Amino acid sequence: MNSPFLQSIKEVMYRRRYAKKTIESYLHWIAAYIRFHNMKHPAEMGDNEVEQYLSYLANARNVSPNTQALALNALVFLYREIIQQPLSVTLDFAMTKRKQKLPVVLTRNEIRKLLSLVPHHHYLACALMYGSGLRLMETVRLRVKDIDFDYQCLKIFDGKGGKNRIVTLAPELFEPIRNQIEQVETTLSRDLNHQNYAGVWMPHRHREKYASQSRALPWQYLFPSHKVSQDPETALIRRHHINEKQIQRSVNSAAKNAEINRHVTPHTLRHSFATHLLQSGADIRTVQAQLGHSDVRTTQIYTHILQNGAQGVCSPLSNI
């Protein structure tokens, strides 16, 4: 939706340093809310209309609880920060009650086959998602400085929920990572020869303190985009990280070529990492720390996968 109103919201969110993904998501749900109410301006609506829309998402769209919560967050932001008429804290709407699905987990042989069929230029990113349990966005946002060869780990900053953590790094990936860093250094040298190049995007709290580091190798993305682009926040010319959709397409294609007849996404690699760690004897608290889960109950879903269909019971068919 090309709308001056939505554009103004976008500008407000950029000024307040919201993440690009959050901005895109909020704008999507705000636009969908406006369309649902036949293009009526949000300032002319309020609690009742929000309740109707959230109930529609639950009853007609059958969205997941997380999706409904995201839509609610977007509308809470809209009315509190933009319209400046906060919604009631006692909104009455139908809550989504869709049961949580068990995540798709691949066997070790399926992982091996999948990784062998991923395009060469996306192999390292996929291997890191499986080998270190990274989320897709954590992978594409990795910077050279986040690699610690001495301690065989990766440092993840500003992960989901703004949390930081340290995860394991497979020694088998040392050489591919070093080769990737060499490519990053070559790309950086080429960029620095361009007069308009403003360096890599830096987190807000580091922009002034480490301003010169935007042109230094350690702060460059490990998986840089193939071309420079204009920073939507500052209009400066930078080289961002690769688009995550490229990896999504590669994983999907590799899964089809591997004849894996399940819905496989990059997140499947993270699910498989957690399950295989538990299978190899790692305790659940260790897996929780590696995944960055705040609550161990979130991690326990993987113990359900290990027990699924068996529950430790021997089938009577086996004794016939």
> Which residues does the annotation mark as catalytic?
135, 160, 267, 270, 293, 302
Q: What is the bridge-based pairing of β-strands 229-230 and 153-156?
A: unpaired
CA–CA gap between residue 42 and residue 45 (Å, rounded): 5
- Given a contact cutoff of 8 angstroms between Cβ atoms, the answer to whether 222 and 180 are in contact is yes
Give the list of residues 6+ apart from residue 103 with CB closer than 8 angstroms, or none: 267, 268, 271, 301, 302, 305
